[in-house]
Chain A
Amino acid sequence: MKRRHYLGLLVVGMGIALFITLFSPLASSEPDGLEKVAENEGFIAQAEDAPYEVIADYVLPGVDNEHLATVLAGIIGIVVVAAVALVFAFLLWRLRGAQRPTSSGGRPG
């Protein structure tokens, strides 16, 4: 019962994240916050290119359709980010130093 609870949370949560990604090609491409300030104040040119690129600018390389490339980049990102956070969280939970129950009751770390 408990396990099913967590599985449902994962499936629904990941589903919502993936659903949002379908709309990522609609995202505004105007310069955003810091970028706009950097342009206005004249220090945007100081930005350096990355030493390497994997999926730069949230566009998957090698895909001709830019909308599709953006959605695919988003899906890859969601899966990778979720995997990293899950592994991190699982290790923290599994390797818990003190097994004694918390005295304050239910407050997360």
Chain B
Amino acid sequence: MAMIDPSTLQTIEAPAMHIPDGFLSGPVAGVGFALAGVAIGFAVWRTNRTLGERFVPLMGVMAAFIFAAQMMNFPVAGGTSGHMVGGALAAILLGPWAAMIAMTSVVGVQALIFQDGGLAALGTNVFNMAVVACLVGYAVHAGFIRFSHLAPWVRYAAAFAAAWLSVEAAAIACSFELALSDTSPLNVALPAMLGVHAAIGVGEGLITVAAVAFVAATRPDLVVAQVPVTED
């Protein structure tokens, strides 16, 4: 094979967590679509029964904000950049099922209109960023927020932990998909992906905390649903 000209590498788009076509084998891409389809189907079923009126504008706003935030690549160490995924933030403010649908809107538009993430890889990208990130972000936040009565900062620690772990979980999923596709062995892809996204996750955590703090300060009614009933 001919030498690869490094200058051409820069033009290939493979943003932080968006898998381009060519990285995944057919079976992995197919399973990605199947898993994403089952999860989104369940999310539709759940939200279809319980979605409150106030979630309609909130889902649109969250999707728009996350799309904008994902465009803002911030530098992390070692000539690398990263951008927010937003799954944890969406899950904290919308609950996991409505968040999945908002995130799917973002990832779908990115693939179909902005060629960010491959078409064959769309199911896998939805699975990583809309399903895994939202579920892990929600679960971590729900676990921590039970202690929010102990100190006011627990809420922000919960948001940070949810955001950081959601990015790492999506990176783990991505590593397994690359390994199962014979693109990169797991013992190479997993530490590399976890390492890069440990740094990106800090940015994710800070933005998520700032966004949760902003919403809590301006529209506290939008976050109360996620906090267990207390005497305040």
Give me the interface of A with B, judged by CB distance under 8 Å: 6-7, 9-10, 12-14, 16-18, 20-21, 23-24, 26-41, 43-48, 50-58, 70, 73-74, 76-86, 88-90, 92-93, 95-98, 102, 106-109
Closest approach, in angstroms, between the C-beta of A37 and any C-beta of chain B? 4
Contact B55–A51 (Cβ < 8 Å):
no
A25 vs B131: C-alpha distance when bound (angstroms): 29
With a CB–CB cut-off of 8 A, which chain B residues contact A81?
63-64, 67, 105-106, 109
**A23-B72, A33-B80, A96-B51 as given contacts; A89 in contact with B59, CB under 8 Å:** yes
Residues A109 and B17 in contact, CB atoms below 8 Å apart: no
Residues on B facing A (Cβ under 8 Å): 4, 9-10, 12-23, 43-44, 46-65, 67-69, 71-75, 78-83, 94-95, 97-98, 101-102, 105-106, 108-110, 112-116, 118-119, 171, 174, 178, 183-184, 188-189, 192-193, 196-197, 200, 218-219, 222, 224-225
Instruction: Tell me whether chain A's interface is mostly helix, strand or loop, or mixed.
Output: helix
Does the CB pair B56–A93 fall under 8 Å?
Answer: yes
> Which residues of chain B have C-beta atoms less than 8 A from A27's C-beta?
71-74, 81, 83
Q: Which residues of A contact B110 (CB under 8 A)?
A: 77
Cα of A68 to Cα of B10 in the assembled complex, Å: 21
Query: Shortest Cβ distance from A27 into chain B, in angstroms?
Result: 4
What are 14 A-to-B residue pairs whose CB atoms are below 8 Å? A7-B57, A10-B61, A21-B68, A32-B81, A37-B196, A41-B192, A52-B115, A53-B115, A77-B67, A85-B63, A89-B55, A89-B59, A106-B224, A106-B225
Which residues of the partner chain B approach A106 to less than 8 Å between Cβ atoms? 52, 224-225
Contacts A28-B73, A33-B171, A47-B23: A98 and B49 contacting too (C-beta < 8 A)? Answer: yes
Contact between chains at A41 and B15 (CB < 8 Å): no
Interchain CA distance A55-B119 in the complex, whole Å: 15
Known: A13-B61, A17-B68, A46-B23. A57 touches B115 (CB 8 A): yes
Known: A14-B61, A32-B82, A106-B225. A92 touches B44 (CB 8 A): yes
Report A-chain residues with C-beta under 8 Å of the C-beta of B188.
41
Chain B residues, Cβ within 8 Å of A35: 12-16
* Residues of chain B lying within 8 A (CB to CB) of residue A89: 51, 55-56, 59-60, 98, 101-102
Contact partners of A82 in chain B: CB under 8 A? 60-61, 63-64
Which residue in B16, B74, B113 is a CB contact (below 8 Å) of A54?
Answer: B113
Whether B114 pairs with A77 at a CB distance below 8 angstroms is: yes
Cβ-defined partner of B46 (8 Å) among A55, A57, A109: A109
Q: What is the CB-to-nearest-CB distance from A38 to chain B, in angstroms, rounded to a whole number? A: 6
The distance in angstroms between the C-alpha atoms of A56 and B213, with both chains bound, is 34
